[in-house]
Structures are given as structure tokens and as C-alpha cells.
């Protein structure tokens, strides 16, 4: 294969069955990517060559690949590494979701899990998760689709992949969450703010969230919160230019409290405003703000 032109961008989409691969493929189509779903891994080099040599060269492509067998996984990783060594700009996007969410999706769609055979869906999920563990560890980006509806998932994909070539700044995503509902898998940096006094135990604040001014005032007026934010700002001022210098495109920062409704929400809003004032490309999401305790 000839040396690769630098203007071809290839995103490989894989992950657990039921985690939303088909939906993500449609998102990439809406973003103007040439998309192919269920491409056998062995055909990836031929597809890349066609993108490069066709009469109308394809500059951006998203390829959905299902890898459920160990031999397919090894073949894919060898091909993937070879294409990177040849100079192609490639990125591996891995989709996953919590087991109970995957089981519910298969139940609602009445589709059998491809690895369940005659057994329960849970066994198929367990088998597939184990098979794809190495692939997930190689991913450039992991997206947990458990709590994302279709429009939210499209927003996430758009934020990550609608990127102007002349504007390669770091994309920062801030997420509040509750530890009682699990730690998000896609975080690059995580901050635990459960050391702060909890508004949940203040009766008139309990039904409110960190989006409400009384909760924001309560949290942000805490001396420990003021010190924490100043130290966090100093850390981000130090880290973010270094991430950009090293060419990192995306950074996901999580702030967690017990339930994900009060302290983490207020602080994520504050940090988002701080970064936006500096001209950073930043957006925020409150994963558990609507979850009942």
C-alpha cells in the first residue's frame, strides 16, 4: 500500500451488542462521514485503499465492525496497527452499557443475543464483554450509552467528531454523577467531592438540585469548596495546555458526589463557566440529576 494521505480520517466503531452501534453509525452519516456497517475486519485494508484511490477520494469514513470471536479480534488489531504504522489517522470508538441496560434492550427488541446461543441473554453479555476486553483497552474513546437517549447520544458524537481541521483545540466534557449509581467508564480525570457538606440533609434544599441558586449558594459558600475550586482551577491551568500540546483531542472530567444531584452539579456548572470564560471548547452533562433517590 502506498503512503497514506494525511487528510483521510477513519473512525472504527465497535463495542458490545446492544450498546447503540447502529445509532452511532447514523450519527456519523449525519456528520458527513462515509459510513459502512458490519465490515469484516479482513476487508478493512481494501476499503481504506478504495477511499484513497477512488475518483472521488473519501476524506472521512466511519466503519462499524462487529468482533465477537478471538481470531477476528487478533486479525483486526494486527490490521489496525499496520494501518496506523502506514500513516493513516485512525481512531477506535468503543461503545458499552451496563449489563442490566443491555438485557432490557434485548428484551424490548426481542432479539437474541448473538453470543447467548440457547442460554440467557446475561450469559451472552458476559461472554462478549470478556472477549472484547482487550479491544476496549485499545480504544481511543469509550462511550457509555447506558443513560443516553438517541438525541443525547447524537449530541455526544457530534461534540467529539464534528471537528474543523483549522480548529484542533481540546474538546472538554464535564460530567456530574452520583457514586451510588456507578462511576462513568469514559472519564479521563475524576474528582470526588463527597468531602463537602451534603445539601441532601438540609430539608429545604433536598428537593432542589445544583442547578438551583439556593443549592449553588450553599455549596459554593463552603470554605472547603472555595479552596477545592481554586486548587482545581490551578490544576486545569497547568494540565490543559499540556494535553493540547501533546495533541489530545478530547478530555472528559467527572465530578462525583453521593447522588449526583447537588454538590457535583453545582461544581460542574462552576468549572464549566470558568473554562468557557477562558475560551475553551467545553460542554457539560449531569448524568444522574433526574434519578430518584
Distance separating alpha carbons of residues 17 and 144, to the nearest angstrom: 13
pLDDT band of residue 229 (cuts 50, 70, 90) is very high
Distance separating alpha carbons of residues 87 and 77, to the nearest angstrom: 16
Distance separating alpha carbons of residues 161 and 33, to the nearest angstrom: 10
Q: How far, CA to CA in Å, does 39 sit from each of 13, 31, 81, 96, 124?
A: 10, 20, 17, 19, 22
pLDDT at 205 over 60: yes
Distance separating alpha carbons of residues 32 and 255, to the nearest angstrom: 33
Res 171: pLDDT: 83
Distance separating alpha carbons of residues 289 and 293, to the nearest angstrom: 10
Lowest mean pLDDT among 10-14, 73-77, 130-134: 73-77
Strand order in 250-257's β-sheet? 189-192, 250-257, 171-178, 281-286
Q: Mean per-residue pLDDT for 123-149?
A: 88
pLDDT band of residue 5 (cuts 50, 70, 90) is very low
Percent of the chain with pLDDT over 70: 93
Res 145: pLDDT: 92
pLDDT band of residue 168 (cuts 50, 70, 90) is low
Question: What does the CA dihedral 156, 98, 186, 90 come to, rounded to 10 degrees?
Answer: -70
What confidence tens digit (pLDDT) does each residue in 242-274 have?
988 776 777 899 999 999 999 999 999 999 999
Lowest mean pLDDT among 97-101, 148-152, 206-210: 148-152
Question: What does the CA dihedral 80, 63, 29, 113 come to, rounded to 10 degrees?
Answer: -130
pLDDT top residue among 160 and 94:
94
Most confident of 5-9, 119-123, 145-149, 265-269: 265-269
pLDDT at 31 over 60: yes
pLDDT at 8 over 90: no
> What is the phi/psi pair of residue 51, to 5°?
-60, -40
Three-class HEC string of 241-292: HHHHHCCCCEEEEEEEECCCCCHHHHHHHHHHHHHHHCCCEEEEEECCCCCC
What structural domains does the chain harbor? 9-161 (3.40.50.300), 171-286 (no CATH)
Most confident of 63-77, 253-267, 274-288: 253-267
Amino acid at each position: 500500500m502506498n503512503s497514506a494521505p494525511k487528510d483521510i480520517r477513519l473512525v472504527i466503531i465497535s463495542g458490545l451488542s446492544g450498546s447503540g452501534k447502529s445509532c452511532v453509525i447514523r450519527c456519523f452519516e449525519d456528520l458527513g462521514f462515509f459510513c459502512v456497517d458490519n465490515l469484516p475486519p479482513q476487508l478493512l485494508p481494501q476499503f481504506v485503499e478504495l477511499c484513497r484511490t477512488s475518483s472521488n477520494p473519501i476524506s472521512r469514513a466511519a466503519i462499524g465492525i462487529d468482533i465477537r470471536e478471538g481470531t477476528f479480534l487478533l486479525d483486526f488489531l494486527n490490521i489496525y496497527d499496520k494501518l496506523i504504522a502506514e500513516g493513516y489517522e485512525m481512531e477506535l470508538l468503543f461503545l458499552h452499557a451496563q449489563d442490566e441496560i443491555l438485557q432490557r434492550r434485548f428484551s424490548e427488541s426481542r432479539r437474541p443475543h448473538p453470543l447467548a446461543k440457547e442460554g440467557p441473554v446475561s450469559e451472552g453479555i458476559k461472554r462478549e464483554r470478556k472477549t472484547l476486553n482487550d479491544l476496549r483497552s485499545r480504544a481511543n474513546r469509550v462511550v457509555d450509552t447506558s443513560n443516553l437517549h438517541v438525541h443525547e447520544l447524537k449530541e455526544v458524537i457530534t461534540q467529539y467528531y464534528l471537528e474543523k481541521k483549522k480548529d484542533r483545540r481540546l474538546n472538554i466534557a464535564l460530567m456530574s454523577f452520583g457514586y451510588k449509581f456507578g462511576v462513568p467508564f469514559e472519564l479521563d480525570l475524576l474528582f470526588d467531592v463527597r468531602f463537602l457538606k451534603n445539601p441532601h440533609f438540609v430539608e429545604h434544599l433536598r428537593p432542589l438540585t445544583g442547578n438551583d441558586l439556593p443549592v449553588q449558594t450553599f455549596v459554593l459558600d463552603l470554605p472547603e469548596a472555595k479552596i477545592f475550586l481554586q486548587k482545581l482551577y490551578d490544576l486545569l491551568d497547568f494540565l490543559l495546555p499540556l494535553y493540547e500540546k501533546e495533541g489530545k483531542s478530547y478530555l472528559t472530567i467527572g465530578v462525583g458526589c453521593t447522588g449526583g444531584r447537588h454538590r457535583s452539579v453545582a461544581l460542574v456548572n462552576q468549572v464549566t463557566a470558568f473554562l468557557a470564560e477562558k475560551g475553551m471548547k467545553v460542554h457539560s452533562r449531569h448524568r444522574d440529576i433526574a434519578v430518584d433517590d
